[in-house]
Amino acid sequence: MILQRRKMNAEVPSMAMGDIAFLLLIFFIILARVTDDSHVKVNKASGEELEKPKSKRVSVAIDTNQITYLNGVRINPDTITAALYQPDAPPGQQGLLGDLPPGQRTVLLKIDKDTPAYLFEPVIEAVSKAGGELHHVLEEKK
Amino acid sequence: MKLRRQALLTEPPASATSDIAFILIIFFLVCASIQEDDGRPQEIPNSDKERQSKNPIRVGLERDHIKLNGDTMAMQVFEEKLATLLDQKVNEAEKTVAVRCSPTVPYGRWMEVTALIEDSGGTITLMRKVQ
């Protein structure tokens, strides 16, 4: 007598897939909010012949309430230079720009068009001091 | 004799949940990445004494008017005179334009004027009162 081998059930449990995908969704949303500054409200100034930035690694923003942000996190404008570049710190802890070569040291500046000079000039100066390459984010002039 | 009512099936179809969640992930990722960051690059030289011009062109920027080397003028006149001045300069260091800005000038106006200076061939340096 030949005994028939019992078939193995190799089906992937589909009930868990929804939960996994949902957790992934939450994870990506939180991650996206931490690294970008899309939640910062800025009315862009206008300009002509706009270019795409070389890098989007670092952004400094001043919103409609005149609050300053570094990569979407609120920051005291006096500490921007140190946060971007500290030449005396050990390698790996030299700030967001660290030892990046020229051409990759782009800092996006998203400044509300009504921000007064006494607030945005120190920020521009701080980025420049840290060796950042300024890229003003603007909207095309109509 | 009592007839037992059959229980209704209330469980949602689980197989579709993963597809819905996956489409949601794609949607949010695409939404996050289409935010435009187009703009203008700007070079503001460091306070390197050797690169600085001893006698730069001076621009005074106020909320409602503009000064070129101390003379108040209309925007159109400023544009023409600045272009003439920059054309007369030979080397890059001489093309430095020192911008002194009133504290209340809004960023939109500052950007407009500095873009005009750069388009005319000038290199901007900021002049600020040290507090």
Rg (CA), chain B: 30
Interface predicted TM-score (ipTM): 0.74
Residues 22-81 of A with CB under 8 A from B: 22, 24-25, 28-29, 32, 36, 38, 45-53, 56, 59, 62
Q: Helix B107-119 to helix B75-88 angle, to the nearest 10 degrees?
A: 40
Q: What is the pLDDT of residues B3-58, one digit of tens each?
A: 677 667 667 677 777 777 778 877 877 776 666 788 999 988 765 554 556 678 89
Partner-chain residue, chosen from B32, B112, B115, that has the shortest CB–CB distance to A38: B32
CA distance to partner chain A, nearest, from residue B35 (Å): 8
Residue of B nearest to A119 (CA): B103
CA distance to partner chain B, nearest, from residue A89 (Å): 21
Neighbours of B37 (CB within 10 A): 16
Neighbours of B106 (CB within 10 A): 18
pLDDT tens, N- to C-terminus, chain A (142 residues): 777 777 777 776 777 777 787 788 778 777 765 556 778 889 999 998 898 888 888 899 999 999 999 988 899 999 999 999 988 888 878 888 888 888 889 999 999 999 999 999 999 999 998 999 999 999 988 7
User: Which residues make Cβ contacts (< 8 Å) with residue B100, sequence separation at least 6?
Assistant: B58, B59, B60, B61, B127, B128
Question: Do you know the residue count of chain A?
Answer: 142
Question: CB A134 to CB B43 under 8 A?
Answer: yes
